[in-house]
Amino acid sequence: MTELQSRTGAHTDVPQVIDFELTDELKAFQADAREYAETELAPFAEAWDREARFPRDAIAKAAARGYLKVTIPTEYGGTDLGNLASCVMLEEINAACPSTGVTVSVHNSLVCSLLAKQGSHEQKERYFPKLRDGEWIGAYCLSEAGSGSDAAALTCAARDAGDHFVIDGPKLWITTGSEAALFVVFARTGEDRVKGITAFLVEREWPGVGIGKKERKLGIKASPTVEILLEGVKVPKSNVLGEVGRGFNVALDTLDGGRLGIASQSLGIARHAIDTIREHLRTQVDAKGRPTAHQADQWELADLAADLDACRMLTWRAAVLRDRGLPCGPQAAMAKLKASLLANRAARSAVSILGPAGLSGAAERLMRDARICEIYEGVTDIQRLVIARGELAR
């Protein structure tokens, strides 16, 4: 028995180490996602961005490969691969097209995983067959004009009318809102700031559900972000998601998963920026083929490469915690904080290092797309707030 074993009471003969390798199953899934991203997304992403065109066919192909059912339990026809698999897949997709990336991320991490965790058997039987094959896309409606970082300030009202609720009030900045057929809507069922919020499943085709203005954005232009209008929408009580009055906790728990999706989006953007810098520096050689790139540029490449690995480890660690059903709030916030800052730095460096070419080629799109990673699923300062609360509670 080793000294460590006698001190800790560990039973294993082998020292416990962290395994940084993906399983063979996940490596194959990663390779499949990379092939999808390189063939179905990368050649078209620039045009989709320029025309602000939603990549409907590419999403259908993602569904055909099973990418829209990774958080759906197997008994409802999903693959239930979980959060780590989702992160691995999303890094690949986002390295090619962050607009497709956020569509897939919201559908999986904010809608399907929420339904899997909180939904009744009847709700799962009704909606998962449509969601798993991409027939229906899901959207997540939490934010309002006066409620984003302060989610508990939402005012969208759900009035109890016997066997149903009546929902009134617009939702703002809803990703894929104009394409979605199912909305998770957070609305106020009571006066208490936190305990007065309930989550509902609302279908696009129900009377009173409308699509408002579409935002004209800096980046991820191929992902439509719209206002969702809810005017006198009758929602049967069977469509309450989870318990009445528990919506705020549900929203926060779901956001931990969503943050892993945006951390992975950031990893994909950062990786694309680093690849762009590397390829550019490789072209700078003397007559004998020796690198002549400025040392400052090489050091920036080195720092970015090291930070990318560090951020990926943070992201995968939080994903593993979540897959094990353990709390991961501060860990997911750390991943999102660090990865989103890295995506912005890497994209900015790519533009700088490429010189004038950086302003017109793929690097300029990277810089525009990276900016949003610091905003949605909680702005950068909110990630710091979550981490600081975790630290102070230790």
Residues in the chain: 394
Contact between 247 and ligand FAD (CB under 6 A)? Answer: no
Pairing assessment for the beta strands 171-175 and 182-188 based on DSSP bridges? unpaired
Contact between 196 and ligand FAD (CB under 6 A)? Answer: no
Contact between 175 and ligand FAD (CB under 6 A)? Answer: yes
- The residue (of 114 and 274) whose beta carbon lies closer to ligand FAD is 114
Q: Which two tokens stand for residue 226?
A: 């719209």
Q: For residue 126, what are the contacts with CB-CB under 8 A and spacing of at least 6?
A: none
Q: How far is residue 292's CA from residue 288's CA, in Å, rounded to a whole number? A: 10
Active-site entry in 91, 179, 300, 377: 377
In DSSP terms, which residues pair with 234 in a beta bridge? 166
Contact between 385 and ligand FAD (CB under 6 A)? Answer: yes
- Position among 16, 39, 74, 149 found at the interface with ligand FAD (CB under 6 A): 149
Residues touching ligand FAD, count (CB under 6 A): 19
- The residue (of 280 and 336) whose beta carbon lies closer to ligand FAD is 336
- Position among 173, 183, 200, 248 found at the interface with ligand FAD (CB under 6 A): 173
Pairing assessment for the beta strands 138-141 and 182-188 based on DSSP bridges? parallel
Q: How far is residue 61's CA from residue 63's CA, in Å, rounded to a whole number? A: 5
Q: How far is residue 310's CA from residue 317's CA, in Å, rounded to a whole number? A: 11
- Position among 33, 114, 142, 314 found at the interface with ligand FAD (CB under 6 A): 142
Per-residue b/e over 185-198, b at no fewer than 16 CB within 10 Å? bbbbbeeeeebbbb
Contact between 109 and ligand FAD (CB under 6 A)? Answer: no
Contact between 143 and ligand FAD (CB under 6 A)? Answer: yes
Residue 98 beta carbon to ligand FAD: minimum distance, rounded to whole angstroms: 11
- The residue (of 279 and 381) whose beta carbon lies closer to ligand FAD is 381
What residues line the site for ligand FAD (CB under 6 A)?
106, 140-143, 148-149, 173-175, 217, 225, 372, 375-376, 378-379, 381, 385
